[in-house]
Amino acid sequence: MALLLLFVGVVFGSDFVFFKRVSLGDILEELERARVVYLGEVHDSEEAHRLQLEVIRYLTERGHSIILAMEMFQQQFQKHLDEYVEGVIDEEEMLTLTEYRKRWKFDPELYAPIWRFAREKGIRIFALNIPSELVKEVKEKGLENVRSEYLPSEIVPPTGKYLDFLKEVMEKHEEVDEKKFIDVQLAWDSGMAYKIAKLLEEFPRHKVVVLVGSGHVWRGHGIPERVNRMVGEVPQAVLYVEGDEVHFLFSKDFSKETSSASSMSEPNCSP
């Protein structure tokens, strides 16, 4: 694998700690302890998707019951993901009925080995993303003026390091309105966290494996910290790609139970 496993002493979300100098094998073993496993990706990176499949395959072969939650599909199309896994429709029908090419646009072959493996093993796939129509409404009206079944009733604004991170990302886009940009990011983070929280309640004996852009799980911010707010602390592990580096961190409640205390470190300051 060309991706470099790097675990450096940077600041993570206040609810998370991180591993340093651990191998992929060590990480895979630690992932077995988590209820939620986030596999943050660079969307067009073939290596990132191979890593995702390797983790999914490992957890399955170890006998864990898992479900997949994929940002690549919008929640209103859940029925068609169920039909695909159940063998009612084929892959091309699934892509057409979920409007994948219109709404996600990245080459489906990047993800095909993952959803084909899920279908082969009978692993349920859940659409994680909020509808494009809702994103458009947030842009037009402002998040504070939008109510939706896909969003939690209370939405906490981003602060500290995560807000700084979002502003840095925004600066890479030309002529972007700051409030609209932050509102949309917050709608995505909150809506996807809300869906994960419901999956945790619906499937108490399963691990939820989340495939999502690395920005949504950066240093434990975004989705993971919001899941903790919604359901109380649950063991969460975050493995995400940033450039050619892979970072691994996990929630503090998870670290209390792990046997690898010697490889852990607290964040060096608050976010």
The answer as to whether 134 is a domain residue is yes
At residue 252, the pLDDT reads 64
The pLDDT of residue 49 is above 80:
yes
The pLDDT of residue 114 is above 70:
yes
At residue 12, the pLDDT reads 37
The answer as to whether 81 is a domain residue is yes
State how far the Cα of 56 lies from the Cα of 165, in Å rounded to an integer.
Answer: 29
State how far the Cα of 215 lies from the Cα of 38, in Å rounded to an integer.
Answer: 12
- Cα distances from 91 to residues 3, 7, 19, in angstroms, run 29, 37, 38
Q: For the CA atoms of 80, 83, 85, 88, what is the dihedral angle to 10 degrees?
A: -140
Q: Which residues contact 6 (CB under 8 A, 6 or more apart)?
A: 245, 246, 247
The pLDDT of residue 161 is above 70:
yes
At residue 200, the pLDDT reads 97
The pLDDT of residue 56 is above 90:
yes
The answer as to whether 16 is a domain residue is no
State how far the Cα of 53 lies from the Cα of 110, in Å rounded to an integer.
Answer: 11
| Structural domain containing residue 175 | 35-207+214-233
- Cα distances from 146 to residues 134, 222, 263, in angstroms, run 9, 20, 44
Q: Which residues contact 16 (CB under 8 A, 6 or more apart)?
A: 219, 220, 224, 225, 238, 249, 250, 251, 252, 267
Range of lowest pLDDT (44-53, 61-70, 186-195): 44-53
The pLDDT of residue 127 is above 60:
yes
Average pLDDT score over residue span 105-113: 97
The answer as to whether 59 is a domain residue is yes
Number of structural domains (the chain) is 1
The answer as to whether 254 is a domain residue is no
The answer as to whether 158 is a domain residue is yes
Structure tokens given for 113:
């080995």
The answer as to whether 124 is a domain residue is yes
At residue 207, the pLDDT reads 97
Of the pLDDT bands very low, low, confident and very high (cuts 50, 70, 90), residue 159 is confident
Of the pLDDT bands very low, low, confident and very high (cuts 50, 70, 90), residue 95 is very high
| List of E strands, 150-227 | 207-213
The pLDDT of residue 199 is above 60:
yes
Structure tokens given for 34:
């988590």
| List of E strands, the chain | 4-5, 16-19, 36-41, 66-74, 125-129, 207-213, 236-242, 245-251, 264-265
Average pLDDT score over residue span 37-50: 94
Largest CA distance in the chain: 52
The answer as to whether 88 is a domain residue is yes
Average pLDDT score over residue span 1-8: 40
> What integer best gives the mean pLDDT of the chain?
85
Of the pLDDT bands very low, low, confident and very high (cuts 50, 70, 90), residue 4 is very low
- Compute how many other C-beta atoms are within 10 angstroms of the C-beta atom of residue 257: 8
